[in-house]
Amino acid sequence: MLYLYTLDQPERYLHLLRQTLPDEAVACWPQEVDAAAVTHAAAWAPPAGFFARFPNLHTVFVMGAGVDKLLQRTDVPDNVTLIRLTDAGMAQQMTEYCLYGVLHYQRQMDRYARQQQERLWNPLDTRLARDVRVGILGLGELGGKVALDLARLGYRVAGWSRRPRQLEGVRCLHGEAGLRELLPQTDVLFCVLPSTPETRHVLDAETLALLPADAALINAGRGSLIDEAALLARLDAGALRFALLDVFAEEPLPPTHPFWNHPRVIITPHVAADTVPEDAVQQIAANLHAQAAGLPLNGVVDRDCGY
């Protein structure tokens, strides 16, 4: 049996799963079921202890790209296979979110907004896409597509990842040396890395200082990637043009947080890329069929790597 837990559109997901998997038993929380019959779960942010009541659980489909919080739980045994969504409609949304931030920088919308407040009519110099250097931290399923999409639009794109990658039209760097090479050559930095012990505060006071004066930062990965105090210091000093932030160390962002009223910060409430139910269900179904046939699965989480 596949047991579903989601507070986001549960009836829609249940309908799609039953429609796509007519030969499978599918139930949705809070429906009572025989716990011993549950072998698969599809879930996003279930309450503590949720998985412990299923003694025969062997696969959990994570209904999102991030798995950091699931890996921190104590109710998911090590022998349970974790499978994350590898796109599910999120990659296109990530491109759109990144492109908005890049265009905000390229077309100097932040400066025109300030001029509007001052009732100042002052056309600024035009900057073309080929003159904008976009750096992308994270070249996985989402970041890789963003990099390729922006390169096709004519931007000068470079990307960084833990391991070596090759993407057509994208300058790919990796490792500590690669990060230190990338940052000083970046006008707009887009972060879409997963949250792992290795990526925590990858952007701290030291690495943020490597970005050129007048650079912009977009974070749509995880809040833990950035030392928020260090970012505030850079913004206060005018060392960064602006930061477009979708994720934060604490969510929802506390009302007293200085980001809310900072003139160089744009806030969105973790909406850069939402899971598309139809795409998510298709991925879950494809992996269920592959698992039953003994074929390779897509999106299996490496617990040691954290993604």
Question: Which residue numbers are catalytic?
Answer: 222, 270
Tokens found for residue 125: 């110099």
* Residue 10 phi, psi (nearest 5): -60, -40
Quote the CA–CA distance of 278 and 283 in Å, as a whole number.
9
Sign of CA dihedral 133, 211, 248, 143: positive
Nearest to 47 by CA among 60, 29, 63: 29
Nearest to 144 by CA among 94, 83, 208: 94
Which pair of tokens denotes residue 5?
């837990």
The label of the residue with tokens 């949250």 reads: 195
Helix boundaries (H) for 153-241: 175-182, 205-208, 228-236
